[in-house]
Structures are given as structure tokens and as C-alpha cells.
Structure 1
């Protein structure tokens, strides 16, 4: 397996209540992961919960996961017979007081509690273990035809005897077999440790979600990590379990790491509404309770398509950095040629294809507005910074 790679640096530091991990490519911030002691994240937690009550009107059930109740929708139920999944209903599958193994797939937001799923996953950098979904799933971008069959056979040999199912991520392209095998064994071991804790009274947390440091490494995609700078020696040990090759890249630095590449300044800019574009254009980003609106301004640049394509790359970056989730409406500069619109939509889909949160681009409306959705994974960056006393820049 071979493919292109882009070298990146990861900077991880602690600042007051925050654990922050910045991913930098060519000196530019591309991803930002933050954990706050003031507002701890439960994203990815695996919990033995207890069904609180069935709510037919919401097509699901509220499950007590300790300290709060999350919503388990019918679509996220797991039944003993997978073929009956479409017909599964909380009212017939679950009962009040019943223990149920769930994972937090989205944190509270917009006045709603956390969202839960019974389809537990354990993500690694190259593979994702799906304990309750047997089989191997391979991205179409990785291989086709005979090459796809050979890749599937190789993953089968690596994961044989480990149980569960496996998703092969796009970042597996070009990775040595030994490293894939090591990660598969680590994920399978983590699942066995969770299984040993299931016996007991709910609610109980069986596994916490990944820290900002681990997420930064896991979600690097196909980019090669050149160096990881950390301010805390304990982070090396945290990375060693899941990514031993990445742990070897760690350098401990007793300095203000986020002064490199002016990461602090870049974070402050993320709290503002306006984002400059090449050529004098800009984005204006406004978040409401229901959705986020992004307006593309071209300035004095005459080429609407060129400005819109510049905007596409920046929009994809801002969605990730600001952790914008839910419905997003983009008002691009008006274009009359249908081929230009199709080019733009294709570019937007490609720019967001590697977003770990998952982005769906639905096309352009009759009003010329592009509609997309991005999975909610946690609080928007602006909310997280506000909870720690960081205000907007404009």
C-alpha cells in the first residue's frame, strides 16, 4: 500500500484548565483539540447505562449514564438479530431499569443532552474496531478490484482471532503490516478490558473517551507525523499504548509551545466572526441556535469561482478548528455557469472528505445557498473558550 503523505507537527501543552493539542502543517494550524477541566468531555465514553424511560415521541429512550441522561435513538439500537435492525424500537427492545451498554457519540448542545449509540467503536489511527459488527469494511479510496481483495485478505489475517469487525481507515494507505497488526492487537485488548467490567450495577463508566493528545494523533489521517512536542512527560506514556511509533517522535520541551507559529494568536482569531481570504476576500461566520451561516465576500476580486474555491479550503479548515456541528449554510459568491457550480460542490466535498466528524454536502438550493451538515462531536470552540474566560475577538 502506497500513497502521498504530508509531514506535520503536533504541539501539546497544558494551560490552566486546558489540555491543548495543535496540529500544524507547513507552519499553519490545521486542527485543534482541547480538553477542559472546567467542562470535561464525555465524547467516546463507553458506559454501562440504565434505561431511565422510553420516549415514543422522540423515537428512543433516555439512558442514565451517570450524572446525566442521554438519548438513545431507535436508529442507534443494536438487536440480537442484525437483520431486524430497521424494525427495532426502544419500546419493544428495551425496558425501564434495564442495563444497556452504550457509547457517547455526541456531547450536549443546543439545549439537548448527549446522544448515545449501542454500536460501540474503538478508533485507532489506521483501524477502527467494531465489536458488535463483524466483517471488514474498506474505504473505496484505498483499493478497487483485485487490490481490494488482497487488502481485505491481509486485514483478515491481521485481525483473525481478535474478534469483532474492522474498518480500514484511509490513513492505512502505505502503513507497514506490523504496525497495523500492533494497533489491531491494542484495540482488541482494550475491548477485552471493557468486557471484563460489564458485570455490575449501572450506571458505570467502563472506558473514558480519548484525550486531546490522543485525538490529535489518531485523527492525523494520511499525513506523516514529523515531530510531537509536549510540555508534560506523562503524555508520552499515554501515546505509547495506542501509537508506539508516534510515542518515539515525542520531544519534551520546557517552553511555551504555543508561541511556535503563533498558535496563541491563531486561536484568538478563531473566536472572531471574520476570516480573511487570499486576494482580499473574507468569510463571515455566524452561529445561531439552529444552524451556522457562512457568508463569502469576494472583495474587489473579479473571478467569483477562484474566490469561492479559496473559500472552500478555508471553510473546511474553519469547520474543524471551530468544531462547528449541525446544519451549515454557505452563501458563496453568485455564479451563473452550471459547470462552475458543479466544480465548486465537488471541491467542497473533496476538501471535507477527511474530516473525522463526517461532513455531508447536500448541494445548492434554488436561492444559491449550499447546504451541508457536520456531526456534532462536542461544544463549539467558542463555547469552550468562553467557559474558560476567553472572549470573542470581534
Structure 2
């Protein structure tokens, strides 16, 4: 089931598998993240060292078009239609790809992308969509007719508590452990605190908490470089976490990669940046 709750311009979207929260997204109707938007763009700079071009999109917005995404033969001053494949986040602008569509003669938006709700509905075509807002249902009816049901309590008390907790930098883990999340521009650090679980065998504890760590990464949409500092493990033991961690990451639709363990003992994960992480949307 997909539960949808609207508060003013902010739409909260939760994918539920049974009673378990599997994905959580925010959709700002007044300021969408831009993923999937189509623009008329003008090439402003060719950057051979970066294997791409910077394109003007209008309203002082610019994006980066890699050569591999259709930019190779474009020169300064060329106009082209592009799609946003990675939303602006942090201090980085959007990533673009060329699309075969008619374009205008000045940079500007052609049409908006579908937004996270329609993306989620497309990925789970059999999921019922429960909404608490009739106006939003009317807007979505041309695309989602027959799949929507109104419920004033689309987000029940349990779900409200769980999504509220996602705004906190600490998340509880099984057996009384906790994960502390510290985002930075270059990477996100996840520090595991054994806390009351310190009496449990460290290898057994860290293996048991891996699925919840990966679920929290998805719910918070942490992306880019992610470093996990597991609790109380000797160097030789860390490698025993590699296969359980890889297995847990396969449930993620973005297919993140475990790159290995650093000399400092961090598990290094690379997860694609597509939409902005939750902490950026909550604290723009």
C-alpha cells in the first residue's frame, strides 16, 4: 500500500509492506525537486576535463550534461532538449541527459517531471494508494484512476511516529544498539553504538543490525559515499560482514555498491544520488 498525506503544499508518501515502512518521500508541490523535468537548454561551457558541458536552463539555473548522456557533439550556443536525471542537492546543480523532443529558442522549463508519488506508483503498479486529500486525488485521477481510496487517517498514529523519527540524526537498532548519522558534503558517516547491546558478541550484533541499517539508508535516502563504522570489531572480523551487507543492499532499488572496508575500518558504500536526501528536504 502507498499512504499519502497532504499538509498544505507538502505531500508525504509512505510505501508500506504490510505494517512495515519500506520507503518514505516528501513532495513539495510548490517547489518540486526537479527530477524528470524537461527543459530547453543552451550550452554555455564545454569542459573537456569533466567530460561534459554546463547548460543554462533559465532562471539562473544551470546543469551538467555528461558527454555520455548525449552532450559529446554539442558546442557553445547550441540549444537542446534535456531531462533532469539527478535532482539538485547540496551545492550541486542538476545532472542532465539529452532527449529527442522539440525545444524552444530560449532556456526554460518545458514540463515538470512526474514527482515521487507517480514514480512510486509506477514501480508498484498493484499497490493501492490511500490519500487523505480530495483535491490531490482529483489532480491525480487522470493517471491513477481506479487505484485511489480516500481515508482521513491515511497516516495512522504508528506511521506518524515512525516518519517523525526520521527527522532525528539517531535511529534505534535491534538489541538496543543505535546508529548516529552525520551527513557532510563529501560523504555520510554512520556510527554504530552498541549501547545496551555491548554484552552481545560484536560479530553477532553487527550482523543482526545490518538489515535495519540498510532500511534506514533507504528511508532517509542517504546517497553518495556512505561510511559505516561498525561497533567493536577487530580488523579480521570486519570482512565477515561483507557478504551480509551486500545481501542486505540488494533489496535497495538503487543497487548501492559495497566498495570494501577502509584502512580505518569503515564499510564504504556508494549509493546513487537521484533525489535529495531527506535531511536536505527537512532543513533546506
Note whether the superposition's TM-score is higher than 0.5. yes
Q: Does 1:263 align with 2:165?
A: no
> Structure 1's 100 and 199: CA in aligned 2 closer, same or farther, altered over 3 A?
closer
Instruction: From 218, 221, 240, give the equivalent of 2:122.
Output: 218
Instruction: From 231, 247, 269, give the equivalent of 2:132.
Output: 231
Structure 1 residues without counterparts, runs of 5 or longer:
1-8, 79-87, 121-193, 388-394
> Structure 1's 26 and 44: CA in aligned 2 closer, same or farther, altered over 3 A?
same
Correspondences of 1:131-146 after superposition (within 5 Å): none
Q: Which runs of 4+ in 1 moved over 4 A?
A: 340-343
Corresponding residue for residue 252 of structure 1: 150
Query: Displacement, 1:342?
Result: 4.7
Instruction: From 308, 326, 349, give the equivalent of 2:206.
Output: 308
Instruction: From 276, 281, 305, give the equivalent of 2:177.
Output: 281
SS in 2 for 1:53: strand
| Maintained 8 Å contact 1:20/1:212 | no
Per residue, is there more helix in 1 or in 2? 1
Deviations 1:221-251, CA, capped at 9 Å, x for gaps: 9xx63x321123443763663xx6xx53421
Q: Does 1:47 align with 2:39?
A: yes
| Maintained 8 Å contact 1:236/1:250 | no
Deviations 1:238-290, CA, capped at 9 Å, x for gaps: 3663xx6xx5342112x1422x1522222221111211111111111111122
Corresponding residue for residue 6 of structure 2: 14
Structure 2 residues without counterparts, runs of 5 or longer:
none
Corresponding residue for residue 231 of structure 2: 333
> Structure 1's 230 and 76: CA in aligned 2 closer, same or farther, altered over 3 A?
same
SS in 1 for 2:58: coil
Provide the C-alpha distance between the structure 2 equivalents of 1:347 and 1:236, rounded to a whole number of angstroms: 44
Instruction: From 57, 65, 70, give the equivalent of 1:65.
Output: 57
Deviations 1:350-381, CA, capped at 9 Å, x for gaps: 22224233412101123221101111123221
Q: Does 1:293 align with 2:194?
A: no
Deviations 1:29-88, CA, capped at 9 Å, x for gaps: 22112111453211122223111222344332111122211011233335xxxxxxxxx4
| Maintained 8 Å contact 1:283/1:311 | no
Corresponding residue for residue 105 of structure 2: 201
